[in-house]
Amino acid sequence: MSTSGGTRAIVAALGANLGIAVSKFVAFLVTGSASMLAESVHSVADSGNQALLLVGNRVARREATQTHPFGYGRIRYFYAFVVALVIFSLGSLFALYEGVQKLRHPHDLDTPIVAVVVLVVAMGLEGYSFRTAVVESNAVRGGASWPAFIRRAKAPELPVVLLEDFGALLGLLLALLGVGLSWLTGAPAWDGIGTLGIGILLGLIAVVLIVETKSLLIGEGANPDAEAAIRAALVAGQVDRLIHLRTLHIGPEELLVAAKISFAGTPTLPEVAAEIDAAERRIRVAVPAAEMIYLEPDLYRAELAGQLTPESRGAGDA
């Protein structure tokens, strides 16, 4: 994902959510709808989340230091994880609490038409934000399905904004159903049921984001296509075998590559150094994100081949 593409999606979502939050809160004050209050808090939380993602992007651009020699790229994963926690705590739990309170202490809505109009307008604004996130995601997801893109994306911003906006649209629909049914039937319990639905929806989205960002925080390797490209780029020239390979994303667009390789014949030390430099150039051409590459020359020993894991064996190991 390009950083600029992710930033455009975040800014679009932030602008939409700030406007929506104000209109929803005004509608809550007029109508007393629990669904509107839950949606107001949801939009405020989303606005804060987008601000956190922008802060993460800014901090990640710091230069590497002695304390953090690989830079600050992975801090974007930390901020995405905080966003997931905010969705769960401030969005989901608050909506569930309000839904229960509405069911326990139901009261009729005042001027429900105001809530309906605000929700319809909010759906239009959220639709614009969601469309922006979809367009930016389509530019980088290739042929992957949407679930696969969310699972495999190394840059967290677009998946976060996508799920936030998708959840916001569904939440608005649930709020509209809750308010509309309460208005049509005269039963305020529908407003509480809609609010509970919003809480459950936000909880599910938060769990997905927590699981995915936790995996990124722990450390993920290159995706299968990138790893295959690295393997293919390594075995060329006098490099006749890939003995061992490990990759790690030290940031969404920064990949660390460490490998042991063996050489055909008995090259001299200058030849080994030249072959390693050539292999690094091939890797960077094949996978531009591979910014840090450490290649170690070694002798391939057949008796140790069985100790290598399947993931560590390259095409040259056959």
Mean pLDDT of the region 46-59: 86
To the nearest whole percent, how much of the chain has pLDDT over 90?
A: 21
The pTM score is 0.74
Q: What is the largest CA-CA distance in the chain?
A: 88
Average pLDDT, the chain: 84
Class of the CATH-defined domain 3-218: mainly alpha
Stronger pLDDT, 280 or 172, i.e. the higher one: 280
Mean pLDDT of the region 83-99: 84
Characterize the bridge pairing of strands 254-263 and 290-297.
parallel
Say if residues 42 and 72 touch (Cβ distance below 8 Å): no
Please choose, from the candidates 59, 57, 53, 194, the residue with its C-alpha nearest in 3D space to the C-alpha of residue 116.
Answer: 194
> Per-domain residue ranges for the chain?
3-218, 224-317
Q: Which two tokens stand for residue 104?
A: 């326990």
pLDDT at 258: 95
12-40, pLDDT tens digit by residue?
A: 778 877 888 888 888 888 888 777 787 78
Least confident piece of the model among 34-48, 159-173, 188-202: 34-48
pLDDT at 198: 87
Compute the distance between CA of residue 191 and CA of residue 180 in angstroms, rounded to an integer: 8
**For 106, phi and psi rounded to 5 degrees?**
-70, 145
Q: Is the pLDDT of residue 178 over 70?
A: yes
Compute the distance between CA of residue 222 and CA of residue 287 in angstroms, rounded to an integer: 10
Stronger pLDDT, 297 or 318, i.e. the higher one: 297
Compute the distance between CA of residue 50 and CA of residue 32 in angstroms, rounded to an integer: 27
Please choose, from the candidates 240, 274, 265, 245, the residue with its C-alpha nearest in 3D space to the C-alpha of residue 257.
Answer: 245
To the nearest whole percent, how much of the chain has pLDDT over 70?
A: 92
Please choose, from the candidates 53, 226, 87, 224, the residue with its C-alpha nearest in 3D space to the C-alpha of residue 164.
Answer: 87
Mean pLDDT of the region 134-145: 85
pLDDT at 279: 94
Please choose, from the candidates 255, 260, 313, 312, the residue with its C-alpha nearest in 3D space to the C-alpha of residue 284.
Answer: 255
100-130, pLDDT tens digit by residue?
A: 988 888 877 777 888 888 888 888 888 888 8
Stronger pLDDT, 303 or 98, i.e. the higher one: 98
Mean pLDDT of the region 200-218: 89
CA angle in degrees (0–180, nearest 5) for 300-305-309: 120
3-state secondary structure the chain: CCHHHHHHHHHHHHHHHHHHHHHHHHHHHHHCCHHHHHHHHHHHHHHHHHHHHHHHHHHHCCCCCCCCCCCCCCHHHHHHHHHHHHHHHHHHHHHHHHHHHHHHCCCCCCCHHHHHHHHHHHHHHHHHHHHHHHHHHHHHHCCCCHHHHHHHCCCCHHHHHHHHHHHHHHHHHHHHHHHHHHHHHCCCHHHHHHHHHHHHHHHHHHHHHHHHHHHHHHCCCCCHHHHHHHHHHHCCCCEEEEEEEEEEEEECCEEEEEEEEEECCCCCHHHHHHHHHHHHHHHHHHCCCEEEEEEEECCCCHHHHHHCCHHHCCHHHC
Least confident piece of the model among 39-48, 188-197, 242-251: 39-48
User: Tokens 């039963």 appear where?
Assistant: 187
Is 224-317 in CATH node 1.10.760.10?
A: no
Q: Is the pLDDT of residue 73 over 80?
A: yes
Compute the distance between CA of residue 5 and CA of residue 85 in angstroms, rounded to an integer: 24
Q: Is the pLDDT of residue 1 over 60?
A: no
289-305, pLDDT tens digit by residue?
A: 998 999 999 887 654 54
pLDDT at 111: 79
Characterize the bridge pairing of strands 239-251 and 254-263.
antiparallel
Q: Is the pLDDT of residue 154 over 60?
A: yes
